[in-house]
Amino acid sequence: MSGIACMFPGQGAQYVGMAHDLYKTYGFVRELYAELNEELHFDLAATTFEGSEDQLAQTGICQPAIFAASLAVLDVARERGCLPEQPVGTAGLSLGEYAALCYSEAAPRAAVAGIVALRGRAMQAACEREPGAMASVLSSDTALVESVVAELCAAGQVLAVSNYNSPKQLVISGAVAAIQAAAEQLKARGVRRVMPLKVAGAYHSPLMQPAVEALVPALEELEIVSPKLPLVMNASGQAESDPDRIRKLLEQQVCLPVRWGASMRSMQELGMQSALELGPGTVLAGLLRGVDRRLKVTSLCTLESFDGLSVNS
């Protein structure tokens, strides 16, 4: 085994121009964008490469844009011999799970692109229906954070732990007032850093239930087969192979917490010694340092980032 895992980033990693140099250089990347345009019914390339930051930040746009950029990076990595012949597994952070689904060959790209576009629109609609917020909590006392969330929920607040990113970082998500109350209580109990996140709403919380209801019919129609390599999923933190279970976890994912720390421990049990981050940004590299500083992560999205890299050489 190679000891290399392949990871895909989630929402928030986007930037105008991501993967543009790959698009200009490789005909198969241009073909990918053209194929996705047919499914998405808008010019993804123009929006990603020439649009504004504000436009690209819209949930309904940035999710398919990140998905496309991640697949473009994946295809270039394959063309240049940079993918491991036997990866230990694959995973994606929230939205990134859909790129991992394609990489594992558990579902066809074009159909998944349609699901991703629907997911983005549905989550945006849920955000507009019920405003929410998220905050990063830097604390190694997971039980304390969970206790504060439980107390506020018992008092009628809408709140959840949305991300278990590493042993020292969690994210909370919910109604604006609930996030403010949680931040005050956590700081009063000794948590030094509770940082509001710049997001459109309360992802991975009960406020996303309308998005789940919109996704279920589409996911029920999506053809899913057993993945050809271990697919470690957010909601369980484990490798999943049963198509029906994969479908159910995808349906509930936007409301359930992202168990990224557990996912990475599962990946280590599979033999992960290093990882490729395939897509925009370096968020996953940072999160993996929080899980285990010994893990080397190579982040790929630009032509320059591929220089000198050949995993299979």
Determine contact, residues 246/234, Cβ cutoff 8 Å: no
Last residue of a domain, one of 175, 196, 217: 196
Is 45 found in the same domain as 183? no
Largest CA distance in the chain: 58
**Residue 311 domain flag:** no
Is 17 found in the same domain as 154? no
pTM: 0.94
* Domain enclosing residue 160, as ranges: 131-196
| Count of structural domains within the chain | 2
The token pair that represents 226 in the structure block: 């057993």
The token pair that represents 6 in the structure block: 């392949």
Is 166 found in the same domain as 42? no
Is 238 found in the same domain as 163? no
Number of CB atoms found within 10 A of residue 57's CB: 18
Cα distance between residue 303 and residue 309, in whole Å: 11
**Residue 38 domain flag:** yes
Is 275 found in the same domain as 261? yes
**Residue 183 domain flag:** yes
**Residue 312 domain flag:** no
Q: What single-letter amino acid sits at 270?
A: L
| Residues annotated as part of the active site | 94, 204
| Residue 113 neighbours by CB under 8 Å, 6+ apart | 36, 39, 40, 64, 67, 68
Residuewise pLDDT in 10s, the chain (313 residues): 479 999 999 998 999 999 999 999 999 999 999 998 887 878 899 999 998 999 898 898 999 999 999 999 999 999 999 999 999 999 999 999 999 999 999 999 999 999 999 999 999 999 999 999 999 999 999 999 999 999 999 999 999 999 999 999 999 999 999 999 999 999 999 999 999 998 889 999 999 999 999 999 999 999 999 999 999 999 999 999 999 999 999 999 999 999 999 999 999 999 999 999 999 999 999 999 989 999 999 999 999 999 877 655 4
Is 147 found in the same domain as 215? no
- Find the CATH number of the domain harbouring 218: 3.40.366.10
| Residue 184 neighbours by CB under 8 Å, 6+ apart | none
**Residue 20 domain flag:** yes
Is 50 found in the same domain as 173? no
Determine contact, residues 100/66, Cβ cutoff 8 Å: no
